[in-house]
Structure 1
Amino acid sequence: MTEHPPETVRAVEHELTALLRRSRAVSSEIARQVHPSLEPNAYGLLLWLRRTDSVRLTDLAAQLGIGKGTLSRQIQALEELGLVRRDPDPDDRRAWRLSLTAAGQRRFDAAREGRLDRFHRTLEDWPTRDVEDFARLLNRFNESYF
């Protein structure tokens, strides 16, 4: 195990804090584009649902690291907004599979384009190799952090 200088670890913490603060602000803005009543933290949930197509609530809760009760309440709110639906799991009649509705997909995709455009503008002057390294290192950090 490598012992990193404390100032280096503090610099990582500082930069991640700044990134997360900005990300929350952008997520609020994008969440409102998906639906005016959407909670800001729901954007990440919609992103996971968009990526997986269909997922069981228990699997999604484990992936996101949140309790089933909390997730169930969030899903219920998304259902009431017409963005998410529950379908019976064909492999387990006691379980449900969650997915975006057609309207949820359309709204999410339209809002996500704005976020991706912002990323493109931010990274447009970066060499491709740097963007690839950044993505790889963020993935490595995320995989090992939790």
Structure 2
Amino acid sequence: MHEGGNGDERRLPSGTAPSGADPEYLSLERELTVLLRRARASQGEMAREVHPDLESAAYGLLVRLDECGRQRATELAAYIGVGKATMSRQLRALEDLGLVAREPDPADGRAWLVHLTDEGHNRVGKVREARRGRYVSQLAHWDRREVAELARLLGQLNRGMER
């Protein structure tokens, strides 16, 4: 563990569990708070780039469909962490904007699969490409191994939070 970013390693006495008051966890909380605040603001901007009438929260749905393809609304609701009613409302709005469409699920005629329309795929793709370009620009002074390590650590954090 590092304290204050100066490279000094601080070890807890054997058998001592870390607490949220330890400097490492205080620093983690502070930095994640800043990152999440910026991510929320950025998500709103990206949503408006896809379509001026798109709600910020719906951008994540579009990205999920772009990455995973056709999905049931219940799968999307579980992934995003919202109820069925909220998901239905968001999907209806996305359909009205021409960004998603539904089709019967061939595995279960009672269910529907949601997917990006060609228009939705094109718009989301342009915004995601521009976002990656901003990351490249903002992190151009980083060593690629540092970028890879950040991605690895964020992936590890995300997997740990899914439990």
Which band: TM-score by shorter chain? over 0.9
User: Separation in 2 of the partners of 1:125 and 1:19?
Assistant: 19
Matched, 1:90 2:79: no
Tell me, in whole angstroms, the C-alpha distance in 2 between the residues paired with 1:81 and 1:132. 36
Alignment gaps of 5+ in structure 1? none
What one-letter code is carried by the residue in structure 2 that aligns with 1:100? L
Q: CA deviation at 1:89?
A: 0.2
Report the counterpart of residue 36 of structure 1 in structure 2. Answer: 52
1:3 matches 2:17: yes
Cα distance change of structure 1 residues 124 and 3 upon mapping to structure 2, 3 Å threshold:
farther
Query: Residues 74-113 of structure 1 correspond to what in structure 2 (within 5 A)?
Result: 74-113=90-129
Quick check: 1:121 aligned with 2:137?
A: yes
Partners of 2:138 and 2:17 in 1: how far apart?
32
How many residue pairs are counted as aligned between the two chains?
146
Cα deviation per residue 1:67-120 (whole Å; 9 max; x = unaligned)? 222111111111111001111000001111111000001111112222111111
User: Identity rate of aligned residues, in percent?
Assistant: 47
Which of 34, 43, 49 is residue 65 of structure 2 equivalent to? 49
Q: Which has the larger radius of gyration?
A: 2
- After superposing on structure 2, the runs of 4+ consecutive aligned residues of structure 1 that deviate more than 4 Å are none
1:22 aligns with 2:38: yes
* CA distance in 2 between partners of 1:29 and 1:82 (Å): 19
Deviations 1:46-67 (A, max 9, x none): 1001001111111122222222
Give the Cα separation in 2 of the matches to 1:70 and 1:62. Answer: 11
**Which structure carries more helix by proportion?**
1
Q: Shift of the alpha carbon at 1:2?
A: 7.7
Q: Within 1, Cα distance between the matches of 2:92 and 2:138? A: 35
Q: Distance between the aligned counterparts of 2:17 and 2:149, measured in 1? A: 22
Q: Note the alpha carbon deviations across 1:1-46, whole angstroms, 9 max, x for none.
A: 9833522112111111101111111111111111010011211111
